Amino acid sequence: MSTDTLLNWASNPTTRKMISAVGLPTPQPLKRADGPWVDAPLEGLSVSVGETDSAAVAKLVEAMGATVVNAAGEESKLHGLVFDGRSISSVEDMRGLYDFFHSRIRTVGRCGRVVVLGLDPARCDTAEASAAQQGLVGFTKSVAKEVGRKGSTANLITVDVGAEDGLPGPLRFFLGRRSAFVSGQTVHVDGVGEAGVWSQPLAGKTALVTGCARGIGEATARRLAAEGANLICLDIPPDAEALQLLAEELGGVALPLDITDPAAAEKIAEAASGSLDVLVHNAGITRDKTLGKMDETLWDMTLEVNLGSVIRVTEALVEGGTISQGGRIVLVSSIAGLAGNTGQTNYAASKAGVAGLARSLGSRLKDTGIATNAVAPGFIETRMTQAIPFGIREVGRRLSNLNQGGLPTDVADAITFLSSPGAGGLHGNVLRVCGGNLLGA
């Protein structure tokens, strides 16, 4: 059972009515997917598709096993809505948003999905077209807040002209149950993914996860292994025992190693026999103090573990050819790096740097076939958050569209998606896994 008392109460119909009556938030228990990926994750569900290229998008949705419903009112409850707004180029065109969603939005059931497709505003031909496409961002974020009370999400996918073949992977992720705690976000597709690799997408691939003895790292290792990856589990030597047990359970290799070791990249390359398909930089530390009270050791240590070592190891592995064409690099940033946080200037600076690194490497490595992206977790229920004082912990949980904290598996699912062949068209994205957190939006 969750340690979130309010969520547990909201899971019971009787107590849910009671907490709603006294004005407390009533978070909707989220529906998450279990087990490995499947070819038809939307089987038995209905989705309505409309606007620009609805026929082509409908085929993608049908390939996921869903029944496509075109007219409003055909189904009393829908799993999702997909609106293709790529043809919107004027204020008048934006009326199409109202026309499509007004008659359908209330038919989306609990834990449903809304996905909007658009273009990169910076690449539009006219100022009005750019403004209209930027309007999709505000629209999607607002829809995410409106549907969040039902445990539903809304996200935006922008697609470069010519990169349409990179759409299936992101669309599948956002419509499925593995994006339960991702809402109000935008990802950009500027390349082509490997379509059709949906079952055991990481079979035969070697993946390394740092900081994977527990928490988000452990959950990520388990998810990657479930999708067929051969795991190298890395964590600091003091956690060698837990690391070994995890590696043995997953059929992987334990690598007790401090990521700040000057020879870390060389040791990783050796453990991977010179070839690594997926690199997940999850290891990180917090050393919290307000800036005026922070010892320089706390500053230096946090920046070195969270950012300096990540840059050094990643560049060495890329330049040495250990991560080759078709590889995936996934960095773990934090919402603290995007919004800032009192007493965490060192941590926020390091995690903002990680986001910047993802954007830079995403652009720089795109032509090599290596896709680099980052995830930025918000309030996730871990051992670390359990140590937060009760009042602050409650605020952290409720300060999102979904009125609850996420689980390590939510971050792991996002990382697994970004590690998959279908995410090959994403470069330099920073995907927040925060339930639509109201800070740093």
Q: What is the pLDDT along the chain (441 residues), one digit of tens a residue?
A: 567 766 766 677 777 666 666 666 778 999 999 999 999 999 999 999 998 667 899 999 999 999 999 755 555 689 999 999 999 999 999 999 999 999 999 999 999 999 999 999 999 999 999 999 999 999 999 999 999 999 999 999 999 999 999 999 999 999 999 999 999 999 999 998 787 789 999 999 999 999 999 999 999 999 999 999 999 999 999 999 999 999 999 999 999 999 999 999 999 999 999 999 999 999 999 999 999 999 999 999 999 999 999 999 999 999 999 998 899 999 999 999 999 988 999 999 999 999 999 999 999 999 999 999 999 999 898 776 666 666 666 677 778 899 999 999 999 999 999 999 999 999 999 999 999 987 665
CA angle 171, 176, 180 (to 5 degrees): 115
How many C-beta atoms surround the C-beta of residue 265 within 10 A? Answer: 21
Residue 130 backbone zone (phi > 0: left; psi -120 to 50: alpha; other: beta): alpha
CATH number of 206-433: 3.40.50.720
In the DSSP assignment, the letter for residue 441 is -
The Cα 181–Cα 336 span in angstroms is: 17
From the candidate CATH numbers 3.30.70.270, 2.70.70.10, 3.40.50.300, 3.40.50.720, the one assigned to the domain spanning 31-189: 3.40.50.720
CB pairs under 8 A, 24+ apart, for 347-350? 347/286, 347/287, 347/288, 347/302, 347/306, 349/303, 349/307, 350/284, 350/302, 350/303, 350/305, 350/306, 350/307
CB pairs under 8 A, 24+ apart, for 121-126? 123/160, 123/161, 124/89, 125/89, 126/89
Q: Where are the beta strands (DSSP E) in 203-299?
A: 206-210, 230-235, 253-256, 276-281
The Cα 132–Cα 134 span in angstroms is: 5
Tokens of 354: 């990680």
Tokens of 394: 């409650």
With CA atoms as reference, report the closest residue to 138 among 123, 126, 121.
Answer: 121
In the DSSP assignment, the letter for residue 207 is E
Is 347 marked active-site? Answer: yes
Give the model's pLDDT for residue 9: 63
Task: Give, in order, the Cα–Cα distances in Å from 2 to each of 10, 14, 31, 267.
Answer: 12, 18, 14, 39
Q: Find the radius of gyration of the CA atoms of the chain.
A: 21
Its sign, for the CA torsion 416, 419, 421, 427, is positive
Beta bridge partners of 373: 330
Give the model's pLDDT for residue 70: 76
Give the model's pLDDT for residue 1: 53
The Cα 428–Cα 421 span in angstroms is: 16
Task: Please state the domain extents for the chain.
Answer: 1-25, 31-189, 206-433
Tokens of 54: 């609805």
Q: Is-same-fold flag (31-189; 206-433)?
A: yes
Instruction: Return the residue matching tokens 């539009």.
Output: 124
Pick the catalytic residue from 174, 299, 347, 379: 347
Tokens of 156: 């935006």
Give the model's pLDDT for residue 7: 73
Q: Secondary structure of 85-138 in the HEC alphabet? A: CCCCCCCHHHHHHHHHHHCCHHHEEEEEEEEEEECCHHHCCCHHHHHHHHHHHH
Contacts of 163 (CB under 8 A, 6+ apart): 189, 190, 191, 192, 425
Give the model's pLDDT for residue 389: 64
Give the model's pLDDT for residue 265: 98
Give the model's pLDDT for residue 88: 97
The Cα 405–Cα 383 span in angstroms is: 13
